[in-house]
A and B are shown apart, each in its own frame.
Chain A
Amino acid sequence: MSNPTSRRMLLAGVAFAAFTPVLGRTIRDRLPWRDGEAYPPASVRDGPWLFFTPEEAAMVEAIADRLIPADDLGPGGKDAGCAVFADRQLAGPYGRAEGWYMEGPFPSDPLPTQGRQTPDTPAQVWRKGLAALEAHCRASLGGRGFTQLSGDEQDTLLRAVQANQVHLEGISSTLFFSQALQTVMEGFFADPIYGGNRDMVGWKLVDFPGVRYDYRDVLAHPNEPYRLPPVSIMGRPDWRGQVQP
């Protein structure tokens, strides 16, 4: 072997498997089952911001509320918990791009067909993008920060960022916008266990019943509306009765 492998490199290669045990093993004679073995995700808890500064978090909440506004169809991105979702995701393995191939070189002129080619992780794209957006607001919109703009002004600015009509210092406008839209949409539609989609508002918008896992009754009644409310990995709020001491 001309390239000896260091233990550090190998562990770096497998440590991103956040949920499952990392050690190799030998299996023979029987399936290696252990009682109750499963790998549930960690439930997001309320509490202080883990990744965003308070100023960043206020911007993220404002952005989430413009991308998914509160209106007659239901709550917006802020009340759905999209900023909490983003905070916890960016503080974790996803924010660090764990599991992605992040070795250089990173040429500045990739083909449009070659996909994301930046050394910035999702967390870095968010952090640089928020800072650059705020600097842009202060410099060109009367010294006001993003959260001080009216909703219409925020919409106009976000549309310009999306269309690459605003120069953001140190970060691609379109990369930042697509990252922001992706994270907010994930927060609106992912299982509530990750901190967004609070009270399953995203699922209610699109009549998605969640994790019921058995729809044989739906197939038996084609073209009929489905009436049951959604269920998440954590169940439903109204299932949680008081436990008697």
Chain B
Amino acid sequence: MTRRLPRKDVVVVGLGWTGSILSYELCRAGLDVVAIERGPWRDTASDFNIGTAPDELRYAIRHELFLQPAQDTVTARNTPDQRALPIRTWGSFLPGNGVGGAGVHWNGHTWRFLPTDHNLRTHLISRYGESFLPENSLIQDWPMTYDELEPYHDQFEKVAGISGKAGNIKGTIQEGGNPFEGWRENEYPTPPLTMGYAQQLFIDGARKLGLHPFPKPSANLSVPYTNSYGVRMAPCTYCGFCERFGCANYSKASPQTCVLPVLVRQPGFEARTRCEVVKVELSADRKRATGVTYVDADGQMWEQPADIVLLCGYQFWNVRLMLISGIGTPYDPRTGEGVVGRNYCYQTSSGVTAFFDNVNFNNFAGAGSLGANLDDYNGDVFDHGPHGFVGGGGISNAVTNARPILFHPTPPGTPSWGSAWKREVKNWTNRVTSVGSQGSSYPYRDCFLDLDPTYKDRLGRPLLRMTFDYKPNEIRMAKFMADRCEEIARAMGASRIVRNDRGPGWSVVPYQTTHNTGGAVMGTDPGTSALNRYLQSWDVHNVFVFGASAFPQNAGYNPTGMVGALAYWGAAAIRDRYLANPGPLV
């Protein structure tokens, strides 16, 4: 039997980065907010304690901080004519769970996208003509410009304390920063991390080639910092236990280190953990949400009525909750109609592994965002005319860790076990680094999300089904990027270079990236987007959907900086426009 609770102004589904930001901003506007989170409460002192946090087996291999597939997973296939099967233990990506979400165990690379990533379709057509776009591509413009989002990036960066070096302040190019980035009102809140030896070689080598390297903008902070909410953070110690781990130092920006300490003190705020929202409830005319239904850890069902419902889960789960609840029309790849599940994108990585003689990279001394990057080949910074593809990526050298269960590199031809393996592992561990490209991923008509017809979660709900593969445009782009990485590695003085190319046949097994995007995209046309420019459902006006599920396509950057900016953009729209006049904002 479902029990009914007293009404709240706002119900927030999922208490990660976007859920905590929206909760705090709306509590400060005087609203009563309840956040419902299906994982446990997590905090630094108890859950990422320095005596237990640096444990590769427990966190990196056994996945303790991630969503457990037994609780929820996705099914996957490469093409619509194949049978999708469930991902039984995570591989290609690692969705988060619990308070803080993936904001607990991310690496902390915090980017803005290029101004031309925002008006991508219009820009590419005006520069190259419509016939230059890939076949069956669904590339779309974002519904807001870079200039419109700039203040909200600034707001997120000041909450997270991002360490970096600006390349363009109010139109003036800054020495040592990224000359291709969009204009910034302000310098980064904190200076860049100390570059390691491998990054020094990368920066010197890239400059010899006439390229423009700069330190990665990092949510691992270089210095102590008090954020714009008054929460104190500590400097990163390059411990080498960042991605897949919580930070014991209070130096990685996360909901725990940046927002929760002030959020819990808001009198209008309440969090319910280990409670899973199973459905958004709609009014009879399906134009308004009346609240959500959730199940608690004892199996009791509850109805939480609310005036506003904010979907703040990870990309997959926002899309699935919309499909299950009937918010928006599901996308049909045969007709191209419908919007929920459309424009699923990922990320297209390639690069090289570089082996050196006579160096001590000390790879164990790393941080999630310790790296140098260059954007000379990102987005549409360079002329694609001669190359026959669209898109690009940042190229970087990063040293995040040398945790030995997962990191024991050997050159090709080395056996995977035995004395010869031992000798090569010992020989190379400290003399290997990578030059890699994190490339864009653009949308196609036959890459999408829908509900699986066979497999169910433990509550009996259909699993989300992914249909995705790397396409010829992305494969050509990845090869071009690996060629560039090879040139840079040679300029760094590598004695042996091994290419990591990207072919068709995306596999669920090796870890690639947790940058899954799209499925509930924002846009200006309800025929091609599920959300309007304020992240508001076109169909159900009191439902707003946050996170990378809103990206029309993915750029050659990590998504969290954009996810944070969109959270502040949406919070402002709700606070300043929607509350006074609830209804469609567009």
Residue B200 CB within 8 A of the other chain = yes
A1 CA / B324 CA spacing, docked (Å): 11
**How many residues of chain B have a CB within 8 Å of chain A?**
101
Contact B194 A39 (CB under 8 A): no
Q: A27-B264, A68-B422 are in contact. Are A213 and B416 (CB under 8 A)?
A: no
Residue B174 CB within 8 A of the other chain = no
Binary CB contact string for chain B from 393 to 408 against chain A (1 if under 8 A, 0 otherwise): 0000000001111001
Residue of A with least CB distance to B454: A105
Residue of B with least CB distance to A113: B507
Q: A1-B278, A215-B239 are in contact. Are A114 and B418 (CB under 8 A)?
A: no
Least CB distance, A208 to chain B, in whole angstroms: 5
Q: A3-B461, A211-B54, A215-B362 are in contact. Are A203 and B404 (CB under 8 A)?
A: yes
Contact A214 B237 (CB under 8 A): yes
**How many residues of chain A have a CB within 8 Å of chain B?**
94
Residue A190 CB within 8 A of the other chain = yes
Contact B76 A114 (CB under 8 A): yes
A214 CA / B239 CA spacing, docked (Å): 5
Tell me which of A17, A28, A218 contacts B40 (CB under 8 A): A17
Contact B422 A31 (CB under 8 A): no
Contact B507 A9 (CB under 8 A): no
**CB-CB contacts below 8 Å: B260-298 with A:** 260-261, 264-265, 267, 269-275, 278-279, 293, 295-298
Tell me which of B78, B296, B404 contacts A113 (CB under 8 A): B78
Contact B2 A117 (CB under 8 A): no
Contact A115 B49 (CB under 8 A): no
A41 CA / B58 CA spacing, docked (Å): 8
Least CB distance, A100 to chain B, in whole angstroms: 5
Residue B455 CB within 8 A of the other chain = yes
Least CB distance, B369 to chain A, in whole angstroms: 14
Tell me which of B47, B51, B418, B506 contacts A233 (CB under 8 A): B51
Binary CB contact string for chain B from 127 to 143 against chain A (1 if under 8 A, 0 otherwise): 00000000000000000
Q: A5-B301, A13-B71, A191-B57 are in contact. Are A115 and B508 (CB under 8 A)?
A: yes
Least CB distance, A110 to chain B, in whole angstroms: 5
Binary CB contact string for chain B from 57 to 91 against chain A (1 if under 8 A, 0 otherwise): 11001111000111101001110001101111101
Binary CB contact string for chain A from 167 to 198 against chain B (1 if under 8 A, 0 otherwise): 00000000000000100011001110110000
Q: A41-B58, A100-B89, A215-B240 are in contact. Are A1 and B425 (CB under 8 A)?
A: no
Q: A13-B71, A203-B404, A207-B430 are in contact. Are A3 and B271 (CB under 8 A)?
A: no
Residue A25 CB within 8 A of the other chain = yes
Residue A140 CB within 8 A of the other chain = no
Least CB distance, A3 to chain B, in whole angstroms: 3
The stretch of A54-62, A129-137, A142-150, A221-229 in contact with B is A221-229
Contact B40 A102 (CB under 8 A): no
Contact A190 B405 (CB under 8 A): yes
A36 CA / B440 CA spacing, docked (Å): 45
A30 CA / B129 CA spacing, docked (Å): 57
Binary CB contact string for chain B from 362 to 374 against chain A (1 if under 8 A, 0 otherwise): 1011000000000
Q: Could you tell me which A residues sit within 8 Å of B by CB distance?
A: 1-3, 5-7, 9-14, 16-17, 19-34, 37-41, 66-69, 71, 73-74, 94, 97-103, 105, 107, 110-117, 155, 158, 162, 181, 185-186, 189-191, 193-194, 202-203, 205-216, 218-220, 222-226, 233
6 closest A-B pairs (Cβ-Cβ)? Answer: A3-B460, A24-B274, A215-B365, A7-B299, A24-B297, A222-B197
A-B contact pairs, 14 of them (CB 8 A): A1-B278, A6-B299, A10-B459, A14-B297, A30-B265, A32-B41, A69-B422, A114-B85, A114-B507, A117-B88, A213-B248, A216-B238, A218-B365, A220-B194
Q: Could you tell me which B residues sit within 8 Å of A by CB distance?
A: 2, 40-41, 43, 45-47, 49-52, 54-58, 61-64, 68-71, 73, 76-78, 82-83, 85-89, 91, 194, 196-197, 200, 237-241, 248-249, 260-261, 264-265, 267, 269-275, 278-279, 293, 295-299, 301, 359-362, 364-365, 402-405, 408, 416-419, 422-423, 425-426, 429-430, 454-456, 458-461, 505-509
